[in-house]
Amino acid sequence: MGKPSDRMKAAVISFVILATGACFERITPAPAPQAVLGRWLLTFHIMGGLFRTPVELVADSSGMLRAAALGPPLVRFERASVENGVMRLEGASRFGTAHISGHVIGDSLQARWRIKILRGNVTGHKLAIAPSSSPERVAAFDSAWTTVSRTFYDPSFGGVDWAAVHTRYAPQATAARNDGELLAVMRRMLAELHSSHLDISAITLADAFPTRGGGSSTDEAEFIAWRALTPSIGYLRIARFDEGPAAIARLDSAFSVLGAMRGLIVDVRGNPGGTLGLALRLGDNLLTKPSPVGYFATRGGLRSFGVTSIDELDPAKLPRFRGYSVEDFQRDLRHAGAVTIETGGRVARPYLGRVVLLIDERSGSTTEALAAVMQELHRATLVGHRTAGGMLSSAEIPIVGGWVLRLPEADFRTPAGRRVEGTGVTPDVIASRHWYRDNQLRAGVSLLEH
């Protein structure tokens, strides 16, 4: 959970899903033309929007071209070449191989990406950024380590000796010859904490996943959809939890149509989470009275309350947050150090029928908190697979060298004190989903029919 809209995360999921595994012609190494060396900004036109990543092109000791993506870790480039004005990049994603090929004209690139039978456009331009020096790379590494040391939500770092981690990785940062190698070192260092919502890149999430519709109702229509499954059972699909009035208005429109249905299936499978606004509005439509739905605490909050763990806090004594704005939430959280989130009782006609919530292993962050709370309050029956297990409140923090550190600032507990981070939420009914048959949806319908 964090400030950036999950329009961004939805684009992440869309791009990753496309990477279903493919093999393409291998790139033949060739000497790197000096004119292409440096940092480029590539824009991928993908299903659900755009994805941008800075890409560093360098020549290795043999003069061959090497590429490194410096943005969110969707693609890791493994081979690169530029010959006769044609740039080729081949990279590995979580699910397979991606291939990019196109023409370099001056400082611009016009290319195509291709994954299996799917494809799209890639545009790029060279950035006027000078290569970093070794002292600058070391300073960036130290800045990342220090920021984590001061701000990471867990004062015990999960049992990790964070000082020893610096000692172990500092020589690797010193030996890094370029930003791509430095990024790999910093990510290995951060991985020692085994935490969600923790990464570093050379671009903010807002810039990496620019919106197409600017949060308009038309844009929201792609991610909030509803229909009647039977005369008495409605279906509401929420692909991301967005911020802003357009998302809230779209959700309210759904309930104005579905409100008379005897049963409702809310599908948040694959929803990677997002900011609070839309999730709290969903709570308003499902809960008849104001209800606490979890609490957060920062390290500063733990110090302020004189405790060493969030589990020592009494959520009933914490300040309440009932807004919709993530900026307001983060302001209140940083001011008080710990807050209880409350929703419900803010719509004239809340939904009173039975609810099934569909979840899976790609339901993350805010989506998991929603699932856990609906389960604890006995407001919904959960169907599907255990969720991702990544529920923390995070923020993006600029550090030395133009890098952006995404850092979990606050831990989360459900009203009953349950930890979601690292464990996920187990559904009440476990069911599988296949490409040819949606047994999870069928199970939900069956529950509501009986």
pLDDT, position 91: 87
- pLDDT beyond 60 at 285: yes
Q: Amino acid identity of 227?
A: R
- Residue 25: per-residue pLDDT: 41
User: Does residue 19 register a pLDDT over 50?
Assistant: no
CA 145, CA 139: separation in Å to the nearest integer? 10
Q: Angle, nearest 10°, between helix axes 162-175 and 134-151?
A: 160
The whole-number pLDDT of residue 244 equals: 87
Q: Dump the DSSP string for 297-365.
A: EEHHHHHHTT-SSGGG--GGGSPEE--S-HHHHHHHHHHHSEEEEEE-S-SSS---SEEEEEE-TT--T
CA geometry: angle at 397 spanning 393 and 401, to 5°?
Answer: 155
| Pair 251, 278: CB distance under 8 Å | yes
CB-CB contact of 382 with 406 (8 Å): no
Q: Output the CATH code of domain 208-449.
A: 3.90.226.10
> What are the strands of the beta sheet with 38-46, ordered from one edge?
65-69, 49-59, 38-46, 118-126, 108-115, 97-105, 86-92, 76-83
Per-residue pLDDT tens digits for 337-369 = 999 999 999 999 999 999 999 999 999 999 999
Residue 195 predicted with pLDDT over 70: yes
- Which two three-digit tokens encode residue 1? 């959970």
The top-scoring range by mean pLDDT among 43-57, 173-187, 202-216 is 173-187
372-421 pLDDT per residue, tens = 999 999 999 999 999 999 999 999 999 999 999 999 999 999 999 999 99
| CATH entry 2.40.128.120 includes domain 6-126 | yes
Q: Which letter does DSSP use for residue 241 in this model?
A: B
Q: What is the mean pLDDT of residues 238-249?
A: 90
Count of residues making up the chain = 450
pLDDT interval class at 115 (50, 70, 90): confident
Domain spans in the chain, listed from the N-terminal domain onward: 6-126, 208-449
Tell me if 6-126 shares its fold with 208-449: no
pTM: 0.86
Mean pLDDT of the chain: 89
Give the chain's radius of gyration (CA, Å).
23
Residue 18 has pLDDT above 80, yes or no: no
Give the residue carrying structure tokens 């509803």.
226
